Amino acid sequence: MKAVLFPGQGSQKVGMGQELLESNGAGADLLRQADAIFDGQLLPVMLEGPMDVLTQTKWTQPAIFVHSMALWREHQPDDGFFSFTAGHSLGEYGSLVVADVLSFEEALYLVKKRGELMQQAGENQPGTMAAVLGLDDETVESICTRISRDNHHVVPANYNSTGQIVLSGHISAVHEAMELLQSEGAKMVKELTVSGAFHSPLMKSAEAELATAMDEVVFRPANMDVFSNVTATASRDPEELKANLLSQLTGSVRWTQTMEAVHGLGVDSITECGPGVVLQKMWKRSYPETTIEPL
Protein backbone atom coordinates (compact mmCIF):
# COMPACT_ATOMS: atom_id res chain seq x y z
CA MET A 1 0.00 0.00 0.00
CA LYS A 2 1.06 3.57 -0.65
CA ALA A 3 0.65 6.87 1.20
CA VAL A 4 1.24 10.47 0.13
CA LEU A 5 2.48 13.03 2.66
CA PHE A 6 2.47 16.84 2.56
CA PRO A 7 5.00 19.00 4.45
CA GLY A 8 4.43 22.08 6.61
CA GLN A 9 6.41 25.15 7.61
CA GLY A 10 10.15 24.70 7.50
CA SER A 11 10.16 23.24 3.97
CA GLN A 12 10.14 26.59 2.17
CA LYS A 13 13.00 27.80 0.01
CA VAL A 14 13.51 30.79 -2.26
CA GLY A 15 12.99 29.72 -5.87
CA MET A 16 10.25 27.20 -5.12
CA GLY A 17 8.00 26.81 -8.15
CA GLN A 18 10.54 27.96 -10.75
CA GLU A 19 10.80 24.59 -12.53
CA LEU A 20 7.03 24.21 -12.56
CA LEU A 21 6.62 27.61 -14.16
CA GLU A 22 9.23 26.78 -16.78
CA SER A 23 7.41 23.56 -17.65
CA ASN A 24 4.33 25.69 -18.44
CA GLY A 25 2.01 22.79 -17.65
CA ALA A 26 -0.85 22.20 -15.25
CA GLY A 27 1.33 23.08 -12.26
CA ALA A 28 2.26 26.44 -13.75
CA ASP A 29 -1.41 27.20 -14.38
CA LEU A 30 -2.19 26.53 -10.72
CA LEU A 31 0.68 28.75 -9.55
CA ARG A 32 -0.61 31.62 -11.68
CA GLN A 33 -4.17 31.06 -10.46
CA ALA A 34 -3.02 31.28 -6.84
CA ASP A 35 -0.85 34.32 -7.54
CA ALA A 36 -3.87 36.18 -8.90
CA ILE A 37 -5.71 35.54 -5.62
CA PHE A 38 -2.80 37.28 -3.85
CA ASP A 39 -2.88 40.22 -6.31
CA GLY A 40 0.36 39.11 -7.92
CA GLN A 41 2.38 39.17 -4.69
CA LEU A 42 2.75 35.44 -3.95
CA LEU A 43 4.92 34.25 -6.86
CA PRO A 44 7.54 37.02 -6.43
CA VAL A 45 7.96 36.03 -2.77
CA MET A 46 8.22 32.33 -3.71
CA LEU A 47 10.67 32.88 -6.54
CA GLU A 48 12.74 35.82 -5.32
CA GLY A 49 12.22 36.04 -1.56
CA PRO A 50 13.99 37.47 0.26
CA MET A 51 14.06 34.63 2.78
CA ASP A 52 13.09 36.84 5.71
CA VAL A 53 9.86 37.69 3.88
CA LEU A 54 9.20 34.12 2.74
CA THR A 55 9.55 32.92 6.33
CA GLN A 56 6.79 35.24 7.53
CA THR A 57 3.89 32.96 8.37
CA LYS A 58 1.39 34.83 6.21
CA TRP A 59 3.59 34.05 3.17
CA THR A 60 5.16 30.74 4.19
CA GLN A 61 1.90 28.87 4.56
CA PRO A 62 0.30 29.73 1.22
CA ALA A 63 3.66 29.37 -0.56
CA ILE A 64 4.22 25.81 0.66
CA PHE A 65 0.60 24.81 0.15
CA VAL A 66 0.43 26.24 -3.38
CA HIS A 67 3.76 24.67 -4.35
CA SER A 68 2.63 21.28 -3.04
CA MET A 69 -0.67 21.48 -4.91
CA ALA A 70 1.07 22.60 -8.12
CA LEU A 71 3.38 19.57 -7.88
CA TRP A 72 0.36 17.36 -7.35
CA ARG A 73 -1.49 18.88 -10.32
CA GLU A 74 1.59 18.44 -12.52
CA HIS A 75 2.51 14.88 -11.55
CA GLN A 76 -0.44 13.24 -9.80
CA PRO A 77 -0.78 9.51 -10.53
CA ASP A 78 -3.94 7.75 -11.60
CA ASP A 79 -6.89 7.68 -9.19
CA GLY A 80 -6.62 4.97 -6.57
CA PHE A 81 -2.82 4.96 -6.51
CA PHE A 82 -2.70 5.99 -2.82
CA SER A 83 -4.56 4.36 0.07
CA PHE A 84 -3.70 6.94 2.74
CA THR A 85 -2.71 10.58 3.04
CA ALA A 86 -1.37 12.76 5.85
CA GLY A 87 0.09 16.23 6.18
CA HIS A 88 2.40 17.74 8.77
CA SER A 89 0.61 20.76 10.31
CA LEU A 90 -0.12 23.02 7.30
CA GLY A 91 0.30 19.92 5.12
CA GLU A 92 -2.99 18.55 6.41
CA TYR A 93 -4.74 21.02 4.09
CA GLY A 94 -2.99 19.38 1.13
CA SER A 95 -4.18 15.98 2.31
CA LEU A 96 -7.76 17.21 2.40
CA VAL A 97 -7.47 18.45 -1.18
CA VAL A 98 -6.10 15.20 -2.63
CA ALA A 99 -8.80 13.28 -0.73
CA ASP A 100 -11.47 15.56 -2.30
CA VAL A 101 -12.62 16.87 1.09
CA LEU A 102 -11.85 20.43 -0.05
CA SER A 103 -11.23 21.95 -3.45
CA PHE A 104 -7.94 23.72 -4.10
CA GLU A 105 -9.69 27.08 -3.99
CA GLU A 106 -11.48 26.31 -0.71
CA ALA A 107 -8.29 25.07 0.95
CA LEU A 108 -6.27 28.06 -0.30
CA TYR A 109 -8.88 30.41 1.17
CA LEU A 110 -8.48 28.68 4.55
CA VAL A 111 -4.67 28.53 4.32
CA LYS A 112 -4.50 32.24 3.51
CA LYS A 113 -6.74 33.03 6.47
CA ARG A 114 -4.83 30.65 8.75
CA GLY A 115 -1.46 32.21 7.91
CA GLU A 116 -2.73 35.72 8.51
CA LEU A 117 -4.43 34.79 11.79
CA MET A 118 -1.43 32.87 13.12
CA GLN A 119 0.94 35.72 12.30
CA GLN A 120 -1.40 38.16 14.03
CA ALA A 121 -1.70 35.88 17.07
CA GLY A 122 2.10 35.68 17.24
CA GLU A 123 2.38 39.45 17.19
CA ASN A 124 -0.32 39.93 19.82
CA GLN A 125 0.92 37.13 22.10
CA PRO A 126 4.69 36.79 21.58
CA GLY A 127 6.07 33.30 21.92
CA THR A 128 8.77 31.01 20.62
CA MET A 129 9.55 27.38 19.79
CA ALA A 130 12.51 25.08 20.41
CA ALA A 131 13.65 21.73 19.07
CA VAL A 132 14.66 19.03 21.53
CA LEU A 133 16.63 15.92 20.54
CA GLY A 134 17.49 12.79 22.49
CA LEU A 135 14.85 12.59 25.22
CA ASP A 136 11.75 10.43 25.50
CA ASP A 137 8.30 11.95 25.20
CA GLU A 138 7.42 11.41 28.86
CA THR A 139 10.42 13.38 30.14
CA VAL A 140 9.65 16.34 27.87
CA GLU A 141 5.95 16.28 28.72
CA SER A 142 6.66 16.09 32.45
CA ILE A 143 8.90 19.14 32.42
CA CYS A 144 6.40 21.14 30.36
CA THR A 145 3.59 20.28 32.76
CA ARG A 146 5.71 21.04 35.82
CA ILE A 147 6.73 24.57 34.84
CA SER A 148 3.55 25.75 33.08
CA ARG A 149 1.32 28.24 34.86
CA ASP A 150 -0.64 31.39 33.99
CA ASN A 151 1.16 33.42 31.31
CA HIS A 152 4.03 30.96 31.46
CA HIS A 153 2.96 28.02 29.30
CA VAL A 154 5.09 25.59 27.32
CA VAL A 155 3.78 22.49 25.55
CA PRO A 156 5.05 19.82 23.13
CA ALA A 157 3.92 21.26 19.80
CA ASN A 158 5.37 18.74 17.33
CA TYR A 159 6.18 15.09 17.94
CA ASN A 160 8.32 14.80 14.80
CA SER A 161 10.01 11.43 15.27
CA THR A 162 11.31 9.25 18.08
CA GLY A 163 13.47 11.45 20.30
CA GLN A 164 12.67 14.63 18.40
CA ILE A 165 10.09 17.04 19.82
CA VAL A 166 9.45 20.75 19.26
CA LEU A 167 8.27 22.86 22.20
CA SER A 168 6.05 25.93 21.93
CA GLY A 169 4.86 28.60 24.34
CA HIS A 170 5.68 31.81 26.15
CA ILE A 171 9.29 32.88 25.66
CA SER A 172 10.15 32.69 29.37
CA ALA A 173 8.59 29.24 29.72
CA VAL A 174 10.31 27.82 26.64
CA HIS A 175 13.67 29.17 27.85
CA GLU A 176 13.15 27.60 31.27
CA ALA A 177 12.20 24.29 29.70
CA MET A 178 15.29 24.39 27.48
CA GLU A 179 17.57 24.72 30.52
CA LEU A 180 15.85 21.88 32.37
CA LEU A 181 15.90 19.59 29.32
CA GLN A 182 19.60 20.20 28.84
CA SER A 183 20.18 19.22 32.46
CA GLU A 184 18.15 16.04 31.80
CA GLY A 185 20.65 15.02 29.12
CA ALA A 186 19.10 16.21 25.86
CA LYS A 187 21.49 15.78 22.93
CA MET A 188 20.47 19.13 21.52
CA VAL A 189 18.13 21.96 22.51
CA LYS A 190 17.80 24.74 19.94
CA GLU A 191 15.47 27.71 19.77
CA LEU A 192 13.83 28.09 16.36
CA THR A 193 13.35 31.20 14.25
CA VAL A 194 9.57 31.49 14.15
CA SER A 195 6.98 34.27 14.28
CA GLY A 196 4.83 32.72 16.98
CA ALA A 197 4.20 29.86 19.39
CA PHE A 198 2.40 27.58 16.96
CA HIS A 199 0.32 24.59 18.11
CA SER A 200 0.04 26.00 21.61
CA PRO A 201 -2.56 27.86 23.69
CA LEU A 202 -0.98 31.13 22.47
CA MET A 203 -2.78 30.57 19.13
CA LYS A 204 -6.18 30.55 20.84
CA SER A 205 -7.02 34.07 19.64
CA ALA A 206 -7.01 32.83 16.03
CA GLU A 207 -9.44 29.99 16.67
CA ALA A 208 -12.83 31.69 16.46
CA GLU A 209 -12.14 33.50 13.19
CA LEU A 210 -10.65 30.38 11.59
CA ALA A 211 -13.71 28.41 12.70
CA THR A 212 -15.93 31.00 11.02
CA ALA A 213 -13.92 30.69 7.81
CA MET A 214 -14.23 26.89 7.93
CA ASP A 215 -18.00 27.21 8.22
CA GLU A 216 -18.00 29.13 4.92
CA VAL A 217 -16.78 26.09 2.93
CA VAL A 218 -18.23 22.60 2.54
CA PHE A 219 -16.21 19.67 3.87
CA ARG A 220 -17.04 16.53 1.85
CA PRO A 221 -16.50 12.81 2.64
CA ALA A 222 -12.92 11.79 1.84
CA ASN A 223 -12.19 9.38 -0.99
CA MET A 224 -9.23 7.90 0.92
CA ASP A 225 -8.24 7.64 4.58
CA VAL A 226 -6.91 10.97 5.92
CA PHE A 227 -4.78 11.04 9.08
CA SER A 228 -5.36 14.02 11.37
CA ASN A 229 -2.45 15.56 13.29
CA VAL A 230 -4.19 15.90 16.64
CA THR A 231 -5.45 12.30 16.80
CA ALA A 232 -2.94 10.37 14.66
CA THR A 233 -5.93 8.37 13.42
CA ALA A 234 -7.53 8.12 9.99
CA SER A 235 -11.03 9.15 9.02
CA ARG A 236 -13.18 9.87 5.98
CA ASP A 237 -15.90 11.67 7.92
CA PRO A 238 -16.03 15.35 6.88
CA GLU A 239 -17.21 16.70 10.23
CA GLU A 240 -14.53 14.79 12.13
CA LEU A 241 -11.83 15.96 9.72
CA LYS A 242 -13.07 19.55 10.02
CA ALA A 243 -13.08 19.47 13.83
CA ASN A 244 -9.58 17.96 13.92
CA LEU A 245 -8.29 20.59 11.50
CA LEU A 246 -9.48 23.38 13.80
CA SER A 247 -8.10 21.64 16.92
CA GLN A 248 -4.72 21.45 15.23
CA LEU A 249 -4.34 25.23 15.61
CA THR A 250 -3.69 24.94 19.36
CA GLY A 251 -3.09 21.18 19.59
CA SER A 252 0.03 19.07 19.12
CA VAL A 253 1.12 17.68 15.76
CA ARG A 254 1.42 13.96 16.55
CA TRP A 255 3.57 13.09 13.57
CA THR A 256 5.57 10.34 15.31
CA GLN A 257 2.31 8.63 16.19
CA THR A 258 0.94 9.20 12.68
CA MET A 259 3.98 7.56 11.08
CA GLU A 260 3.64 4.64 13.47
CA ALA A 261 -0.03 4.23 12.57
CA VAL A 262 0.60 4.45 8.81
CA HIS A 263 3.47 1.98 9.04
CA GLY A 264 1.34 -0.37 11.13
CA LEU A 265 -1.26 -0.55 8.35
CA GLY A 266 1.30 -2.14 6.06
CA VAL A 267 2.20 0.91 3.98
CA ASP A 268 5.45 0.06 2.19
CA SER A 269 5.81 3.07 -0.11
CA ILE A 270 5.75 6.75 0.87
CA THR A 271 5.64 9.77 -1.44
CA GLU A 272 6.32 13.32 -0.20
CA CYS A 273 4.62 16.05 -2.23
CA GLY A 274 6.07 19.49 -1.58
CA PRO A 275 9.30 21.45 -1.36
CA GLY A 276 12.25 19.91 0.45
CA VAL A 277 12.81 16.49 2.01
CA VAL A 278 11.85 17.11 5.66
CA LEU A 279 9.24 14.36 5.89
CA GLN A 280 11.42 11.90 3.99
CA LYS A 281 14.18 12.36 6.56
CA MET A 282 11.74 11.89 9.45
CA TRP A 283 10.36 8.72 7.92
CA LYS A 284 13.75 7.20 7.11
CA ARG A 285 14.89 7.85 10.67
CA SER A 286 12.07 5.67 12.02
CA TYR A 287 11.43 3.19 9.19
CA PRO A 288 14.50 2.92 6.96
CA GLU A 289 13.15 -0.19 5.23
CA THR A 290 10.26 1.72 3.64
CA THR A 291 10.56 3.08 0.11
CA ILE A 292 10.15 6.87 0.24
CA GLU A 293 10.67 9.42 -2.50
CA PRO A 294 9.52 12.87 -3.66
CA LEU A 295 6.66 13.15 -6.13
Q: Which residues are catalytic?
A: 89, 199
CB neighbour class for 152 (10 Å; exposed up to 12, middle 13-18, buried from 19): middle
User: 264-285 burial string, b = 16+ CB within 10 Å, else e?
Assistant: eeebeebbbbbbbbbbbebbee
Distance CA 23, CA 188 (A): 42
Element spanning 2, H or E? strand 2-6
Residue 50: cis peptide before it, omega within 30 degrees of 0: yes
The answer to whether the beta carbons of residues 168 and 251 sit under 8 Å apart is no
Count of CB atoms within 10 A of residue 45's CB? 23
The answer to whether the beta carbons of residues 11 and 278 sit under 8 Å apart is yes
The answer to whether the beta carbons of residues 95 and 85 sit under 8 Å apart is yes
Distance CA 26, CA 249 (A): 31
3-state secondary structure of 168: strand
Distance CA 40, CA 38 (A): 5
Q: What is the 3-state secondary structure (H, E, C) of 226-246?
A: EECCCCCCEECCHHHHHHHHH
